[in-house]
Amino acid sequence: MIIPDEDDLLKSKDPPTPAPTLRYPERAAGRRLFSPLPDYETSQALAFNDFSDSLITLHKPPPKRRILDSRFWKAAVAALALYIFLTIAIGIPIIVKKTREAAQQSYPYYPSNYVLPRPNKIPSSQYTDINDINYLDGVFPVCNSWANVDQLADVQNSLIGTMQNAISSNGQFSITSNASYLSMNIVQGDLFVGINPNTSETDATVSITMQASSTGLFDQTVVCLLSSTNLTTLSLLIPENLALTDQLLFNITLLFPPSAIPSNVDAFATFLPLFTQTFDDFGNYVIFKKISIEGPVSKIFATSLQADKMLVETALEPIFGQFYATDTLTISTINAPLTANITLYNDPDSNFPTYLEVSTGNSDLIANVTLNSPSKNSPLRPNFLANLRTFSGATTASFVHDSSSPPTIIKLRVENDLGQSDVTIDEKYQGVFQVTTKLGNAAVTRGTAYSSDPWAQDQQRNLLLDYSSPVRTFGWIGWGSHPEFDEQQGEVVVETSIANCTLSFAG
C-alpha cells in the first residue's frame, strides 16, 4: 500500500476556476412538508416552460389561405347573372319562333281552345221543391184537388182522377217528378205543351190526369199545383217502395193562349223521368228566354222550340226535333239516336258567339244546322262555336248559311270514336280545315256550287291543301290568298278513330 505525503494531500488535483461557483441552497430548515408554494427547482422549471410557450406563440405560422374565398363567389354570381341574361336574350326568341312554327304545322287550332263557358242549366229545383213549395212566392200549393175521381172496371179496380186549372201564361214554369230508374215500367207519363186551339182563351190552362192501379197508390201519390202571377209549378211526388204490380200513368197538357200579345216566359223547366215530352210549334204566340228540358229515360220530340238559351238532355231515349237558339243550345242523350234540325242566330252587335253542343253515344247523330248572322261588315270574331260528338255510331252533319246571311265565322269540331263521320259545309265558308283518322281514310272533297265574297267581289275562291295523306289532310278554302293566320277565318276539325271521315265543301 502506498501512503501519500502530506504535501501531496495539500495540493489540488484540479486547477482553480476563476468563475464563481453556483451552489443551490439547501432546503430551508423548518419548511413545511405540504407548503402551497413550490420549491426553487419547481419554480425555475415552471418559469422556463412559460417562456418557451411565449416564444412559440410569437412565432406561430400564418393561417392557411382558403381555396373558395369571397372573390370566387363574386365571380360565380357574375357568371350566373350573365347566363340568365343570355338565356333571356337568345333562348326565348328561339323558343317563340319554334312554337310558332310548330303551331303553323299542326293548325287548325281546335275550336275547343276558344274560351267560352258551358251554358248553365236551369235547375228545376230552383222553381219547385216539394219540401219548400209552400214558401214560394208566398202562395200555398193545391195538392190532389181532383175535379173528378172515377173507378175503372178493370181487374185491379184502378182509380183515375182529373183536374184542369187556368194559370198565368207569363213568368216561370216548372214541371217535375221524383220518379227514378227504380220506377221503370211502373211509372209512365206524357207531357204535351202547345197552343190552345180555342182562340177565345186568354189564359194558359193545365190539365192533369192520373191513373193508379189501386186505391192505396192513388191516395199516396201527391200532385201539387202552385200558380201565381209570374210563377207556375207542378210537382209529382211518387211514393217509395212501389210493388211490381203497381202502375201509375200520368197525362199532362199545358196550353198557351193564341193571343195577339205573345206570352213572355222567362224560364221553362221540366224534369220528368220516364215521360214522353212533346212540344208543338208555338209560332209567335210564346217568347221563351230560357228552356231546360230534362229527364232520364224520357223521349223528347219538338216540332219547333225557340229560345235564347236552351238545354235538352235525356238518356237511353231519342231526341228528335227542330231547335232555334240565339245564345246557347245544348242537346244531349246517351245510347239513343239524336236527330236535330237547328237554326243558330248570332247578333252582329253582340260581343260573344252563339254556342252549340250536340252529343250522344252508342248511336247515330244527325244534325242539320243553319247559320244566320246578318252583319253588314266582315266579322271581327267568331259568330258560332259548335261541338258535335258521338261514339259507336255514324255522324252526319251539315252546316249551311241562311239565304239572307253573308258568310260567317264558325269554329267547328266533330269527334267520333268508332263510327263514320260525314260533314258538309256550304260554299260560304272560309277558313282552315283538318280531317284526321287513325285506322280509316280521311278525305276532303269540293263541289261546284258558286259563291262570291260579299266584301271583295273580284277575288276568286280557292281550295289549298297544305298536307294530304290517307289518314290526315289539312288546308284552307276561301277567297283570295291563304292568310298565315287570321282570327277572321273559320276552323273545321273532323276526327275519327277507326272509321272513315269525309269533309265535303259545296263549292
pLDDT tens digits for 47-83?
655 545 544 444 455 555 555 567 777 888 888 888 8
- Of 399, 394, 402, the residue nearest 411 (C-alpha): 399
Q: What DSSP string runs through 76-145? A: HHHHHHHHHHHIIIIIHHHHHHHHHHHHHHHPSPPGGGS--PPPPP--GGGT--TTTGGGGGG---EES-
Q: Tell me the pLDDT tens digit for each residue of 275-296.
A: 999 999 999 999 999 999 999 9
- pTM as predicted: 0.75
Residue 337, C-alpha cell as written in the block: 239516336
How many residues does the structure list for the chain? 507
CA contacts within 13 A on the Cβ side of 11: 6
Mean predicted lDDT score pLDDT of the chain: 84
How high is the pLDDT of residue 68? Answer: 58
Q: Do 431 and 478 form a contact (C-beta atoms < 8 A)? A: yes
**Neighbouring C-beta atoms of residue 371, cutoff 10 Å:** 26
Q: What is the pLDDT along the chain (507 residues), one digit of tens a residue?
A: 455 555 554 554 555 555 555 555 555 544 555 556 666 666 666 665 554 554 444 445 555 555 556 777 788 888 888 888 887 878 777 776 666 555 444 444 444 444 444 445 544 434 334 444 444 556 788 999 999 999 998 888 899 999 999 999 999 999 999 998 777 889 999 999 999 999 999 999 999 999 999 999 999 999 999 999 899 999 999 998 899 999 999 999 999 999 999 999 999 999 999 999 999 999 999 999 999 999 999 999 999 999 999 999 999 999 999 999 999 999 999 999 999 999 999 998 899 999 999 999 899 999 999 999 998 887 888 999 999 999 889 999 999 999 999 999 999 999 999 999 999 999 999 999 999 999 999 999 998 878 777 777 778 889 999 999 999 999 999 988 877 766 778 999 999 999 999 999 998
Taking only the tens place, the pLDDT of each residue in 3-33 is 555 555 455 455 555 555 555 555 554 455 5
